[in-house]
Amino acid sequence: AKEAGRNGFAVFAEWMNDSAEQQFRLLADLRSAIGTDQLFLHYQPKLSVARHTVAGAEALIRWKHPEQGLIPPDRFIRLAERSGIINEIGRWALNEACRQLRQWHDAGHDNWTMSVNLSPIQFSAPQLLNEVRDVLARHRIEPRRLILEITESTVMRDTETSLRLLQALARLGVGISIDDFGTGYSSLLYLKRLPASEIKIDHAFVRELENSSEDVVIVSAIVALGHALDMDIVAEGVETAGQRAYLERLGCDYLQGYLLGHPVDPVRFKQLHDLPRPR
């Protein structure tokens, strides 16, 4: 982080702050972390506005490096993508999240959903469809309980191939969520063709909501657009009660953010969100 902006370029992501040598070492460490308990998942609740309860969780990867401690995904996902080991990590994360969901379903939360982030790289591997099918079967998960989060750039990479894969996944019955919506450069034409079931409104539009009439207009336009296309709307990065009030009034279906719950380990998740259900 000390070498940020050394070449006069703006710093776009944390991984860019690491020197080539640091990245090389980090990658070697990451390779050996796969399959150990250094890599694990935290879960952040997704709240249903209509039901006032937790609808499910998003799985977020964590790496506890033996010397450096907790390393955030923003520092190692890109590295894993450029080296290709994201496929292995992603496969592990998908399986682990579904294994956890099965446990929660068995414990009575059989309507909870699990959202898993997919890298665009995983998306260009043709075996993804089979992997998703296998993991659902292995853990006896109904397809509609699994939601795959993709970013707009996923579809931009190789439009026809990605679209076909997405359509096959949608036919399988899993949910498809467009993450970080509004920050990429995809056009509304792509949105029209995407078999997505959900849009996640990026933090960036939520942050200033209370003081920015522009952001209010943008969020309400996204909600209208999404609903017209029969998609659910999730707002992420909800940190204040004021933001929550706006987002609920503007018609968002689900909310995520520190106000409603931080990402936590699965035991803590169940403790925090295992509320007695109304009968």
User: Where along the sequence are the contacts to ligand C2E (CB under 6 A)?
Assistant: 44, 60-61, 72-74, 77, 90, 93, 117-119, 179-180, 203, 236-239, 257-258, 263
Q: Pick from ligand C2E, Ca ion, none: which does 56 bind, CB < 5 to 8 A by kind?
A: none
| Cβ-based neighbour number of residue 108 at 10 Å | 10
Where in 65-94 is the site for Ca ion (CB under 5 A)? Answer: none
Number of residues interacting with Ca ion: please give it, by CB under 5 A. Answer: 4
Instruction: Pick the closer one to ligand C2E by CB: 183 or 189.
Output: 183
Cα–Cα dist 58/122, whole Å: 18
Instruction: Pick the closer one to ligand C2E by CB: 62 or 102.
Output: 62
State the nearest-atom distance from the C-beta of 259 to ligand C2E, in Å.
7
Q: Does 180 bind Ca ion (CB under 5 A)?
A: yes
Answer yes or no: are the C-beta atoms of 240 and 259 closer than 8 Å. Answer: yes
Q: Does 149 bind Ca ion (CB under 5 A)?
A: yes
Instruction: Pick the closer one to ligand C2E by CB: 7 or 211.
Output: 211
Instruction: Pick the closer one to Ca ion by CB: 30 or 236.
Output: 236
- Short-list 232, 251, 265, CA closest to 41: 265
Instruction: Pick the closer one to ligand C2E by CB: 60 or 247.
Output: 60
- Indicate the SS3 state at residue 44: strand
- Short-list 98, 101, 22, 97, CA closest to 65: 22
Radius of gyration of the chain (CA): 19
Q: Does 179 bind Ca ion (CB under 5 A)?
A: yes
- Indicate the SS3 state at residue 40: strand
Cα–Cα dist 61/203, whole Å: 19
State the nearest-atom distance from the C-beta of 149 to Ca ion, in Å.
4
State the nearest-atom distance from the C-beta of 276 to ligand C2E, in Å.
26
State the nearest-atom distance from the C-beta of 23 to ligand C2E, in Å.
17
Backbone dihedral angles phi then psi of residue 46, each to the nearest 5 degrees: -120, 120
Instruction: Pick the closer one to Ca ion by CB: 14 or 180.
Output: 180
State the nearest-atom distance from the C-beta of 254 to ligand C2E, in Å.
13
Q: Pick from ligand C2E, Ca ion, none: which does 61 bind, CB < 5 to 8 A by kind?
A: ligand C2E
- Short-list 100, 85, 83, CA closest to 40: 100
Residue 141 CA, distance from chain mean position: 19
Cα–Cα dist 123/167, whole Å: 12
Q: Which run of H or E residues covers position 235?
A: strand 232-235
State the nearest-atom distance from the C-beta of 228 to ligand C2E, in Å.
24
State the nearest-atom distance from the C-beta of 106 to ligand C2E, in Å.
23
Cα–Cα dist 108/274, whole Å: 9
Instruction: Pick the closer one to Ca ion by CB: 149 or 152.
Output: 149
Answer yes or no: are the C-beta atoms of 74 and 117 closer than 8 Å. Answer: no
Q: Does 117 bind Ca ion (CB under 5 A)?
A: yes
Binding site for Ca ion (CB under 5 A): 117, 149, 179-180
